[in-house]
Structure 1
């Protein structure tokens, strides 16, 4: 495609990673698609906003007063009007042409809501093990849908259909950050949307050295438990909870996660909305693979 691809915008959430964001924006600005880029600054205190304004004047900056986590993506999506939105973290970036390829697929397949890219881990460019898991998905592929079918996705390397994202309500304020995609994906699936891993769409991930791995693990364990009780039938929820807790380390991080999950039990019960039987059948197919996956590590 010659000239900017007006079908897709990029939304980047960031928090106190000024230099890493600077590098990510430089890569985005070199893409042949020349997408509209929106940075949602989750209340950084390290000069992130000043850096964006001075070094990247074409980037649209949305400054928040506090860290909303994944909900910052909802804010970013609300500022654009393109049919598709690529989510990008401040430590991920897309290959040239990847955004246009994802947009082509979304154009061609109106029932497709999410295209998740393959992930090359930098430095070195090795394929992330989670990609092998996604490629082995046991789910039945809907007729005509490209790639490998999913019931969740990886937000930092996914392109979403804006209409579907908004109709499903975006990311939950409750979950904040860490495995936040699973709940949104369940609501997309409930509404009849498809999600796919498409290896030909390529992204890169160079994990930030500024992340808090303990907090991310704590939230990931908590959010998995919350999702399980919000959307899975009773028997499946009990079984998945037992299996999930059997895998996590016996340490204070896991203890904090379980304590947080239990404190949220009142609202989880109020908002519990079990998925339809056809979606639950898909989860059952995925349960064993996910719980024995070497790509899913509960360590920090």
Structure 2
């Protein structure tokens, strides 16, 4: 049984996927740490992904499905994972040579936590990552993910290592084609024993793509609505005793997305999301946002119209 199962979902990104795979195979590991498998899930690609992956046939296990979205692709990988921990890598992102060794160090140091989350370095061109250096491990441990609610760090499931048994226990990712499906997973993992955030070294280069399509804006709105609905239905763990921690995390995301939607010309979606989050904001009050967002949204939208 390998220690790590690396799951890479992909769709029509042959060139970027090749770069991602090369960053995995460039890992600097000792003999005792080199215990991993690579599982690529081709989510119905129509480009030359199949031909490119054929060149890695001895190093990569390839699973294929009709196009169903990233959540379903990751779930297929989880079903077939044989490692103790699953590590996710998106096919347009890059690892540093020390990524797996850092995850392993944190896991060993903190007694096998359920979730280890790393830090990322944003980039648009790979050469921008040249200045990122391997630092000494600097990590913060919590009893579980919800216990980290007040900590101000970027949270995403594309930079985590998770116990495979915990992933399967909570059902993996939602198969809905929404943004924030990674946050939904993290909330469902919220009370699994042991969470570690690795502040340094950074373990992933996160590729930033220019622009935001109309579909992406709508998926972000739909994702936030889904998260709020799941909380209202009681689908996240921790019951009433952990509600404040869950809302702290959920509402931070909702506030960010309402501002983002407004700045990109969708105040209608922003206002509806603001309305949907009001009940939660009365439990975890953020008065500056509650009172200030509506007039800011109106002013921002008016200024956007003037600039056209």
Q: Shared fold (TM-score greater than 0.5)?
A: yes
Q: How far, CA to CA, are the matches of 1:109 and 1:296 in structure 2?
A: 37
Give the C-alpha shift of residue 111 in structure 1.
Answer: 6.9
The Cα offsets for residues 60-109 of structure 1, whole Å up to 9 and x where unpaired, read as 11111223321211111222211111100011122222222213323444
Q: Summarize the Cα distance change of 1:91–1:168 in structure 2 as closer, same or farther, 3 Å threshold.
A: same
Q: 1:248 maps to which residue? A: none
Q: How far, CA to CA, are the matches of 1:126 and 1:286 in structure 2?
A: 33
Q: 2:299 maps to which residue? A: none
The Cα offsets for residues 195-253 of structure 1, whole Å up to 9 and x where unpaired, read as 443122521112357x9743233212102111211223xxxxxxxxxxxxxxxxxxxxx
Q: Summarize the Cα distance change of 1:212–1:61 in structure 2 as closer, same or farther, 3 Å threshold.
A: farther
Q: 1:27 maps to which residue? A: 23
Partner SS, residue 165 of structure 2: helix
CA contact (8 A) 2:4 2:83 kept: yes
The CA RMSD over aligned residues, in Å, is 3.5
CA contact (8 A) 2:141 2:197 kept: no
Partner SS, residue 222 of structure 1: helix
Q: 2:283 maps to which residue? A: none
Q: How do residues 194-209 of structure 1 correspond to structure 2 at under 5 angstroms?
A: 194-201=194-201, 202-208=203-209
Query: Which consecutive unaligned segments of at least 5 residues does structure 1 have?
Result: 128-139, 233-268
Partner SS, residue 68 of structure 2: coil
Q: How far, CA to CA, are the matches of 2:130 and 2:254 in structure 1?
A: 23
Partner SS, residue 189 of structure 2: helix
Q: 2:148 maps to which residue? A: 149
2:235 to 264, 269, 273: 273
Q: How far, CA to CA, are the matches of 2:109 and 2:169 in structure 1?
A: 20
- Name the larger-Rg structure: 2
Q: 2:120 maps to which residue? A: 119
Q: How far, CA to CA, are the matches of 1:169 and 1:274 in structure 2?
A: 12
CA contact (8 A) 2:20 2:95 kept: no
Normalising by structure 2, report the TM-score: 0.67
Give the helix-richer structure, 1 or 2.
2
The Cα offsets for residues 35-58 of structure 1, whole Å up to 9 and x where unpaired, read as 321110000000211111125541
Give the C-alpha shift of residue 171 in structure 1.
Answer: 0.5
Normalising by structure 1, report the TM-score: 0.69
Q: Summarize the Cα distance change of 1:176–1:294 in structure 2 as closer, same or farther, 3 Å threshold.
A: closer
